[in-house]
Structure 1
Amino acid sequence: MNTAGKTRLSSTCLPGRRMSPSSVPMISATSQFSGSPENRLRLFAGLVVLALGTIMAPVASAQTVLLRGNNADPNTLDPHRAQSIYEMNILIDIFLPLTMYGADGVAVPGAAEEWSISEDLRTYTFSLRPGLRWSDEVELTAYDFEYSFRRLFDPTTASAIAYIFFVIENSEQVFRGEKPADALGVRALDDRTLEISLVEPAMYLPQLLAHPSAAALPRHVIEEHRRNWTRPGNIVSSGAFVLSEWRTQEKVVLEKNPYFFNAEQVRLDRVEFLPITDMESALRRFRAGELDINWGFPPQKIEWLRENLPSETHTFPQLSLYYLSLNLKADVLKDPRVRNALSMAIDRRLIGDKFSKLGNPPAYGLVLPGTRNYGEVAKPEWSSWPMEKRRAHARDLLVEAGYGPDS
């Protein structure tokens, strides 16, 4: 197994996302703004808190516009139905969850200005910021969050992402249609207070709630426009930006939301997400000045980029994993000795250093180093052995299982 990941960046002024422990490719233009490094670091979230030294491109219209490569066109901008990282990149800028990620990966206040935890660690009480509004000036309250969580787990929504929140009390039963929506462990106590009850303690909940699918959604807009509620002109937002244009396979355009709670700190007037699936094309457009930033670049170009565009090329960590999935119905793979031998024989470090060329650290389980509140990640004893010893032991296991040279 090898840890790997992809850039996740937010164009808002809030703290952005940083995950670990794998190296991730990104290209970005250098900052065109003057002023002290401290002032530049306030420009916007996902980039600056990671000290990437990026990116604002003033244009002739006197607006500040970010041109961002996004790898693919979104299938939907409904946070409960979105699945791809390319959709999440946009949704992070449109909707404000209860929490956001700080530069160190710790959850910081988003729509909630503070929260408390019960003694048994199973009940979280969130206090919303005063004066929150949707981009159409309608008041945003804790009841919007209550409605949104019920919609997330509603069987008719058929959300493919709802399962990550099954730690919420009765969420799985509501999702399966076994209990009514009002049994869900999410309750608005008043306009500014939201209570979330859990099946068991989950110290990662504040980090989890930073996911766009946990943001409040505008009930008044959804009930009026139904499945068309995410179209430009219909959709309203709570984040730093609001959707103004969506041309399929061309671009998604976001405009600054003047009713965002921290709008005065947002330095961008507009963000344009350009769906460029081919990394070679993205690199060419970046070098031509048609992109300010792009998620990813051709892996085979990493050495050239580091030599020729060192200040524009950045790799940084994200919690992500590549792994091989085995068919345990196959007779040969039912024997744990065979599976262990295969795992021993894979040179994870070689794959990370030579194949991806990004130095992805090896992983020996599904829980990775850097997972917050997890403690030390267990590794098999053989993980520290030299490859020659590991392969010799793997051969012994295969012989023991009946798969030697003569079998």
Structure 2
Amino acid sequence: MKFRLKMAVSALALGLATTAFAADVPDGTTLAEDQSYTFWLLDAIKSIDPQINTDVEGSDILRNLFEGLYNEDGDGQLVPGVALDHSVSEDGKTYTFTLRDDAQWSNGEPVTAGDFVYAWRRLADPATASEYAWYMELMQVENAAAIIAGDMDPSELGVRAVDDHTLEVTITTPLPYFPQMLVHGSTFPVLQSVIEEHDDDWTDAGNLVGNGAYTLTEHQLGERVVMEKNDTYWDSDATVMDTLTALTINDGNQALTRYLAGELDRVDIPAGQYPRLKEEYPNQAVSTPYNCSYIYMLNVGDKGPEALKDANVRRALAYAIDRDIVVDRILQGGQRPSYNWTHWAVAGFERPELDWADDMDQAARLEKAKELMAEAGYGPDNPLALTLQYNTSDDHKKIAIAASQMLKAIGVDVTLDNYEWKVHTDRMQNQDFDMARYAWCGDYNEASTYLDLFTSYSGHNNGEFFSDAYDQVMRDSKTADDPLPLYQEAERILADQMPIIPIYHYANVDMIAEDIRGLPQNNVNNTWYGKNLYRVAE
């Protein structure tokens, strides 16, 4: 038996919202003549190839140039993208997606199920060398693990085109959140003929062919990305915003200055400035929960410092950080102190009780940290020397300076090392670091998007924390009727072994121009689409 999920009758079962697909402009609204949106990027986009990109900022670009099976609305609910609906087999392992027949590439060719098959095989193919290849394995797509390991041909991946408008996906384990995973950029389709024609240059402006609401007209690396409305997009008639421009500005204070000068329509608020800006600009300064966690990743692998192979040392480092100072004195934007990995606002998640978080105050944690360091042979007379690496940002620098002072109190001499984003991430991927600033933003709104990262098969476990017990807990969670107790056990393992130093859970702290409408305020993933935006007349 199969059951069919139709928009009109089963939105609740799928989690699909029935709201408007593109800009939902209220009756009587007077639109501005200028329909352009300019937003801020802290760092250069490393890649705008859907199967290669790993960055949040890159995902914001991809989401406008390409479109996957489903999108999210302003509340984080799924809405149709290229897929109109899907059916699921009784055993929960076969998904059949019905694709819209009016989806087109920006060159006018139709978007077909075969384009998704090509993209998904490309993602899993070791020849692509994608850091997100593991996402196919997380999605439990049939044969993904063997293909990623090089033991099976990509053609054996559990995805096939039944016909041009019917896509079938076979997974090995039922995942109730499987549809939610399909909003991630790595699952977006790409056009094989364009990649074969242009090879690595296929993402250049003028070469790139996408199926999203916008086309790429300019990309000056580290300076700007410009996207123009795509008239071949299936919902272009309901897309109001004509031009999207992303400006790369490595200095957050400079970006704020340019926002206040009217050069940007959205910018992150620098650390410590939200209270003042909320008072001065109450209709522009906003803070909402954001599905990201900020940590210092510890290199516990073969290339890491010998001292960090000792879990007691790692716990001491974590205990010594005063998160309340970071959140209340440095950031001041609605962020929350973090003693675990998974963001507090993730749907269905409850943090387990953790001794160091719940049974100790900061003074007790600091004393325990000193004891643990002394047991390991370190202290003021024999300090442990470590390097803390972070990417260019005044906020990251302020937190790193504070952390270095806190760690000095337990006998750790910290050298701060600052790199531009690409160098920073390359060094992390090569395990060329001691401690490194890291943040993870959930690929979907479910705890596994965090906890899978520290499995041995993860593509982002740059600190090389490998634990058979942890792997088993996460494998068991895939088949559990209620995975929460297993997620909590995974968090307890992380708290015991401490391969990371949790710092804080994000809030989205922004200045948004008063005449911009359509940015999500109730979506914890902060998933936004230019096609939903519009500018009103002042």
Which TM-score band (shorter chain)? 0.7 to 0.9
Match of 2:61 in 1: 90
Cα deviation per residue 1:27-77 (whole Å; 9 max; x = unaligned)? xxxxxxxx85x776xx9xxxxxxxxxxxx8644xxxx21122222332332
Whether contact under 8 Å (1:15, 1:100) holds in the other structure is no
Corresponding letter in the other structure for 1:357:
Q
Conserved? CA contact 2:215–2:228, under 8 Å: yes
Residue 239 (structure 1) aligns with: 212
* Contact in 2 for aligned 1:125/1:193 (Cα 8 Å): yes
**What TM-score do the two structures reach when normalised by structure 1?**
0.77
| Residue 352 (structure 1) shift | 1.8
Match in the other structure for 1:267: 240
Work out the CA distance in 1 between the residues paired with 2:322 and 2:316.
Answer: 12
1:126 aligns with 2:105: no
Structure scoring higher RCO (CA < 8 A, sep ≥ 6) equals 1
For residue 474 of structure 2, what is the aligned residue in structure 1? Answer: none
The 3 A distance-change label for structure 1 pair 402 and 135 is closer
User: Does residue 79 of structure 2 align to residue 108 of structure 1?
Assistant: yes
Aligned mate of 2:286, from 278, 303, 314: 314
Match of 2:272, SS?
A: helix
Percent identity of equivalent pairs: 35
* Match in the other structure for 1:299: 271
Distance in 2 between residues matched to 1:340 and 1:354, nearest whole Å:
24
Match of 1:283 among 253, 256, 271: 256
Q: Which residue is 2:328 aligned to?
A: 353
Q: Matches of 2:114 and 2:99 in 1, distance apart?
A: 11
Q: Which amino acid in 2 is paired with 1:134?
A: W
Amino acid at match of 2:148: F
Please name the residue that 2:428 is paired with: none
Residues paired across the two proteins, number: 357
Structure 2 counterpart SS, 1:277:
coil
Which residue matches 2:131? 160
- Listed one character per residue, the Cα deviations across residues 71-122 of structure 1 (whole Å, up to 9, x for unaligned) are 2332332112222222221111010011122333333322111123333333
TM-score, normalised via structure 2 length: 0.59
Equivalent AA in structure 2 for residue 318 of structure 1: Y
Give a deviation string over 1:199-233, Cα, whole Å, max 9, x none. Answer: 33333322221112211111232223222222222
Whole-angstrom distance in 2 between the partners of 1:130 and 1:330? 56
The 3 A distance-change label for structure 1 pair 211 and 383 is same
AA matched with 2:76: G
Offset of 1:153 from its aligned partner?
1.7
Aligned equivalents of 1:406 and 1:237: distance in 2? 60
What is the alpha-carbon root mean square deviation over aligned residues?
3.2
CA contact under 8 A between 2:289 and 2:345: conserved in structure 1? no
Tell me if 1:172 matches 2:145.
yes
Q: Which of these residues, 259, 274, 297, is aligned with residue 325 of structure 1?
A: 297
Pair 1:382–1:229, CA change in 2 (3 A): closer
Q: CA deviation at 1:333?
A: 5.5
Asked if structure 2 preserves the Cα contact closer than 8 Å seen for 1:15 and 1:103, the reply is no
Q: Select 2:351's aligned residue among 368, 372, 377.
A: 377
Paired with 1:95 and 1:406, the residues of 2 have a C-alpha distance of 57
Task: From the superposition, tell whether residues 402 and 292 of structure 1 become closer, same or farther in structure 2 (CA, over 3 Å).
Answer: closer
**Number of the residue aligned with 2:162:** 189
The amino acid across from 1:192 in the alignment is H
Aligned residues of 2:293 and 2:342 also touching (Cα < 8 A): no
Q: Is the 8 A contact 2:21 2:79 kept in 1?
A: no
Conserved 8 A contact 2:64-2:212: yes
Aligned-partner residue type, residue 325 of structure 1: M
**Structure 2 gap segments, 5+ residues each:** 1-19, 383-538
3-state SS in 2 of match to 1:305: helix
Where does residue 37 of structure 2 map in the other structure?
66
Q: Which has the higher strand share?
A: 2
